[in-house]
Amino acid sequence: MFFASLMLLSIPFVFFLIPETKGIPLERMDELFTIKPAFKAHGVLVDRMKENEEVNLVIRDEKARADEHKEMA
């Protein structure tokens, strides 16, 4: 009975205070654990990672175009 009560008490603790780490790279874990509230942290960080990826794609495309123009000249 003692361990069952500990298990029941751990459910809100885990839900509200421990963020989901699925799909988050190890390099971004510190950032994940600084976002509050913890139950929304995974979604917030995934959105940030998508935005950064889109920016990186645009920068990479611009560099590729600039390189093509240099090669043509």
Q: Structural domain boundaries of the chain?
A: 2-72
Contact 32, 24 (CB under 8 A): yes
pLDDT tops 80 at residue 71 = no
Rounded to two decimals, the pTM is 0.72
pLDDT of 30? 96
Quote the CA–CA distance of 38 and 34 in Å, as a whole number.
Answer: 8
Question: For 7-23, what is each residue's pLDDT tens digit?
Answer: 999 999 999 999 999 99
Quote the CA–CA distance of 28 and 35 in Å, as a whole number.
Answer: 11
pLDDT tops 80 at residue 48 = yes
